[in-house]
Structure 1
């Protein structure tokens, strides 16, 4: 936590006194280490030092325990008044707009069934928990974690519900939609989010001993999640669907956050309120997009290609949007 506070103070100092070059360097110093850890995970996997079984078990542990606890802590430490209605709308409205744009574009391109579903869902379904939280934490410290956790609560529920609905409609697998929606509701991330908001709303305190225990568990989440992402990347899937992947990645990393940026500018949302939403929308496509595509008859090659390509490009995108939003 002390390190994160130093980083946000450093960024603010550079913004105030040292101008463009120093501010960019502060952002680079914050973001690049995150993606070096991802590359480290990829190298370990390529050299056979991380086995598939370990990656799967580590992913299961982070998904079911560490990340939900991390989000829960972020929410109960926050002040709901820190996140305005316009800040929440700055992530919801752009998501719905990009969904409509992607759907119309997919129809225009003549994409069929599962490919259409995967094309649309990967344009808005971002990796907000594994990567988004990490970037916000190391860029803005506890403040970024608190603000981001509230926004993530809305985005997790909306993104997964929309993705399931689109894939089920496109692949005509309506018999799976209720089963998939039920799995979303029972997701540990959803449970952690809802429980955190419930305690926050009722102002119910959590015992210090329990908070410290959960804090230790939560500290595992971000580093392990980044290593898992790196170890799960595959270059072959990019080659299989390069053209479509490129279109989706441009829409996901540039068009979607630009819609949020325009919304924030239109409603004069301050930098500290605008940045968490823009960063979350600029995250690379979520790994769960591949899982949902596999379950609901989507194009798994396209989903996997988009995930890998967007993850590789996202460091440059985060640097761009962090500067643009200031």
Structure 2
């Protein structure tokens, strides 16, 4: 898609992450409404497993075209650190004291709502540099092509029910607002990424509804 945008390497690297990064807050909210507790659990597990991969891909590509060093940027990325720390604690078999667990559970319950408010507050209008065709290309890849591929692969692998629906919905999520933070931190095209975050978030109100309708009709 780079020829459609006419952008330099760093600007394109900044925007490319918008084609595969995902908004976890919206994913958890949608999964909860669609699949209840089982949907939240499946979406949470999938997002947790994919966060390190998505961030390593984004950091790696930006570091390759910018001034940052890959190893240093990876070990300093807060999303990767938090995910790996949580996985290590889970695999260790340790348990939090009940008062601490209850407090963190209340924070977790509020996090989705606060995250959705933050997503809405971060939306930006205006025009995107690099051509409308290039921006439209990335939006189509993120909101239509990826979930279609997930649908095909899910059927090929024999997924069904909540698991199948979660895989498709995960692929159909708008891009993550943290993409803007990473682009700015590593000297990339922050304004262009902000526009794409806004565009995919607004467009997802239509495309996610369509995918939900298809999943319901399919009986997933």
Q: TM-score, normalised by structure 2?
A: 0.86
Distance 2:81 2:35 in 1: 25
RMSD, aligned α-carbons: 2.4
- Equivalent position to 1:249, from 120, 136, 139: 139
CA contact (8 A) 1:238 1:304 kept: no
The superposition leaves residues 186-210 of structure 1 with CA deviations (integer Å, 9 ceiling, x where unpaired) of 75641564145425xx4x5554443
Which has the larger share of helix?
Answer: 1
* Map 1:152-171 → 2, pairs under 5 A: 152-171=47-66
Q: TM-score, normalised by structure 1?
A: 0.60
User: Deviation at 1:182?
Assistant: 1.2
> Which residue of structure 1 lines up, in the alignment, with residue 122 of structure 2?
232
Change (3 A) 1:305 1:152: same
Please identify the structure whose Cα radius of gyration is greater.
Answer: 1
Q: In structure 2, what is the equivalent of residue 118 of structure 1?
A: 14
- Stretches of structure 2 lacking an aligned partner (at least 5 in a row): none
Which residue does the alignment assign to 1:277? 167
Kindly report which structure 2 residues correspond to 1:160-239, keeping only aligned pairs within 5 A, or say none.
160-171=55-66, 173=67, 175-184=68-77, 187=80, 189-191=82-84, 193-195=86-88, 197-198=90-91, 202=93, 204-236=94-126, 238=128
Q: 1:293 aligned to 2:188?
A: no
Q: Distance in 1 between matches of 2:214 and 2:85?
A: 32
Structure 1 pair 108/312, CA: closer, same or farther in 2 (3 Å)? closer
Q: Distance in 1 between matches of 2:4 and 2:115?
A: 37
Cα drift, residue 211 of structure 1: 3.0
1:27-46 aligned within 5 A: none
Count of aligned residue pairs for this structure pair: 216
In the alignment, the residues of structure 2 paired with residue 179 and residue 324 of structure 1 have an alpha-carbon distance, to the nearest angstrom, of: 43
Residues 1:253 and 1:197: Cα distance change in structure 2 (over 3 Å): farther
